[in-house]
Each structure stands twice: as structure tokens, then as C-alpha cells.
């Protein structure tokens, strides 16, 4: 008998394994979650201390953001996963899927005094006016820190949090939408950091062109779904066990 929300589990497991392949992960220390009810308070999340490359659909936990007793059970989640993702799912029902990583270039960006991602190409322009910078890092994302972060994400237009001194948090409507945004933000951060490393003046797009580009990409048909479909095909061809 299959576990509830099986297709959602399969998609989430594929995201974990592909994040490992693309080096977007930090072994056992990051978390992806997906809400499965209307108000977002019931959500799927990876098990505690399981390497991203090994996570299967049947491993994924189903939690209730309003039930802190889940931290006392035999399959308790990582307390920082509960703190951050539980906080976001309690306060931001529009955040259906939440992906938190310490990927290399996004974390470098989050470590700079000025953590803005300037629109210097098409990818970086994707995120123009669509991210927030958290500059009040307070330690590991236990419940209080998670609640604080969640309060910065009330605007549905904001899809990314650059977590100063910490990493990256990406929101989306589905696993496919969120993973696509995660992938392109990390690529954007890499482009921007490498451009800074040249020491040359940056060719920054005007606000008008950056916003126009971002809107065009917001409305670009089916990119996230088709991207994620092909990522799952790649995993299938490798013989991955993500769907088990």
C-alpha cells in the first residue's frame, strides 16, 4: 500500500537526488518541504540526517506545523528543519514548496556586506524585485529563528530569501517550480560572483529592462515543469531509486 501523497513524495525525492548531483546540497544539513493541505500546515519533508543522494519517496516524513510533539517521536525531524520550514508553512500558505540550501555561490552572495543580486544578465534579471535579504541572522534555525524568517516572506511576490551569513531559501507553487527557481538562482549567483571577481565595472541593466525581463520569465510557458520532467527522466535512465 502506497503512502499518502505518493506523487508529491516522488517529486520531492527526485528533487533531493538531483540537488545532490548538481551540488546544490550540503549532505544531510539542508531541507526541502512541500505542503499538502489548503492552509499549508501539513507538509512533507526529508528525514533527519539522511543524505540527499539517498532519499527515496518512502523515506519522506509527513508533519503538521501546528503539532510540536512531532519532535518527540521516533521519526522526529531535524529540529532546525522543523523550526524553519514549520514557521514558513504556518505563516505563508502561499509558500507551497520551500527549499533551503547552502549552495556555494548563493552562500558566497549571502556572506557579502552587500548581498544584492544585481541584474547583469537574463538570469540575474529573473529575480529583480523578487527576493528579500535577511540581515539579522540569529544562529541555527530553531523555532524562534524560523518564525523570524517567516515574517519576512509575507509578500507572495517574494520567491527567494538571501539568508545573510547563512544560505538560500526558495519558495514556489510546486516542487518543479521551486527547483527550477533554485537552479537558476544558484546559476545567477555564480555569474554575479564571477563577474565581481574580474574587478571590472559591471554592465547593470536598467530597472525598467530588468523588471520587463523578470515579468517575461514569470510568464514563460511550462519551463519549470518541462525542466523537472527531464530531470526525472535523467534519474530514471541512471537507475535511481527515488520513486521507491
Closest CA to 161 of 185, 144, 139: 185
Domain ranges of the chain: 6-237
CATH homologous superfamily, domain 6-237? Class II aldolase/adducin N-terminal domain (3.40.225.10)
Residue 199, exposed/middle/buried by CB under 10 A (0-12, 13-18, 19+)? Answer: exposed
**In a structure prediction context, what are the per-residue pLDDT tens digits for the chain, which is 244 residues long?**
789 999 999 999 999 999 999 999 999 999 999 999 999 999 999 999 999 999 999 999 999 999 988 888 788 889 988 899 999 999 999 999 999 999 999 999 999 999 999 999 999 999 999 999 999 897 776 668 888 888 999 999 999 999 999 999 999 999 999 999 999 999 999 999 999 999 999 999 999 999 999 999 999 889 999 999 999 999 999 999 999 9
| pTM (2 d.p.) | 0.96
Task: Walk across the sheet containing 131-134 and list its strands.
Answer: 61-64, 42-45, 31-35, 97-101, 167-172, 160-163, 131-134
Q: How far apart are CA 109 and CA 102, in angstroms?
A: 11
Amino acid at each position: 500500500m502506497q503512502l499518502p501523497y505518493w506523487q508529491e513524495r516522488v517529486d520531492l525525492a527526485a528533487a533531493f537526488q538531483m540537488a545532490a548531483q548538481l551540488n546544490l546540497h550540503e549532505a544531510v544539513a539542508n531541507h526541502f518541504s512541500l505542503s499538502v493541505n489548503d492552509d499549508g500546515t501539513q507538509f512533507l519533508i526529508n528525514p533527519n540526517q539522511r543524505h540527499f543522494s539517498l532519499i527515496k519517496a518512502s523515506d519522506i516524513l509527513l508533519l503538521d506545523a501546528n503539532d510540536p510533539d512531532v519532535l518527540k517521536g521516533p521519526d522526529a525531524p531535524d529540529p532546525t528543519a522543523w523550526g524553519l520550514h514549520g514557521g514558513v508553512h504556518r505563516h505563508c500558505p502561499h509558500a507551497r514548496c520551500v527549499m533551503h540550501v547552502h549552495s556555494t555561490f548563493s552562500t558566497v552572495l549571502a556572506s557579502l556586506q552587500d548581498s544584492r543580486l544585481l541584474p547583469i544578465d537574463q538570469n540575474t534579471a529573473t529575480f529583480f524585485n523578487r527576493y528579500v535579504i535577511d540581515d539579522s541572522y540569529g544562529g541555527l534555525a530553531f523555532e524562534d529563528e524560523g518564525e523570524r524568517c517567516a515574517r519576512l516572506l509575507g509578500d507572495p511576490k517574494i520567491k527567494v530569501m538571501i539568508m545573510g551569513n547563512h544560505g538560500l531559501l526558495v519558495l514556489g507553487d510546486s516542487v518543479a517550480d521551486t527547483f527550477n527557481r533554485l537552479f537558476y538562482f544558484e546559476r545567477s549567483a555564480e555569474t554575479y560572483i564571477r563577474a565581481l571577481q574580474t574587478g571590472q565595472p559591471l554592465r547593470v541593466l536598467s530597472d525598467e529592462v530588468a523588471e520587463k525581463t523578470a515579468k517575461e520569465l514569470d510568464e514563460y510557458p511550462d519551463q519549470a515543469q518541462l525542466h523537472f520532467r527531464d530531470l526525472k527522466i535523467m534519474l530514471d535512465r541512471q537507475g535511481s531509486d527515488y520513486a521507491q
